[in-house]
Structures are given as C-alpha cells and as structure tokens.
C-alpha cells in the first residue's frame, strides 16, 4: 500500500485498488484484493506495466510466498446494470 502511494504514475489508469480482510464467514482472516480497470485491455496493459517494475516484482513474489496456494484464486467480475 505504501509503494502504491509513493508511485502514483506507475498505477495510472487503475480506477481503484482495495484490500479487504475477511472477518466473518468463509475462511477467517482471509485477504481479498480488488483491482478495478475500465476494460480488459486496460487491465492487461496496466498490469503488465505495474508488474514489470522491479520493486513490484519483489512485492508480488513475497506476497505469493505468504499465501497457501490452495486458497489463491483470480476472478474477473463485471457490474450488472439493472
């Protein structure tokens, strides 16, 4: 979170990023990240730029060492307009 605050240009185009900690239901103390982009094309372009940065590579590698591999998942959601 500190790295993101110090590097706003790197994250330019990312609409929002939120980190949640689950406290009730499911697996206790589980974390969920939500990255919001305008489109899938933006997601690919911006994510490639972010994760090509050396410091962000180290952060990502460290993060993946802390998680239990069977609990990790990636999803793409889109809003339903009613």
Q: Where are the domains of the chain?
A: 2-70
Question: pTM higher than 0.85 for the full model?
Answer: no
pLDDT digits (tens, 9 = 90+) for 10-52: 999 999 999 998 888 877 788 889 999 999 999 999 999 999 9
Distance between CA 50 and CA 46 in Å, rounded?
6
3-state helix, strand, coil in the chain (%, to 5): 40, 15, 45
pLDDT for res 44: 96
């Amino acid at each position: 979170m500190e790295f993101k605050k110090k590097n706003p240009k790197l994250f330019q185009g990312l609409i929002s990023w939120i980190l949640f900690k689950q406290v009730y239901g499911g697996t206790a103390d589980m974390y969920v990240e939500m990255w919001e982009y305008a489109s899938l094309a933006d997601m690919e372009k911006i994510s490639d730029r972010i994760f090509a940065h050396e410091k962000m590579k180290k952060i990502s590698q460290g993060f993946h060492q802390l998680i239990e591999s069977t609990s990790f998942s990636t999803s793409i959601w889109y809003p339903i307009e009613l």
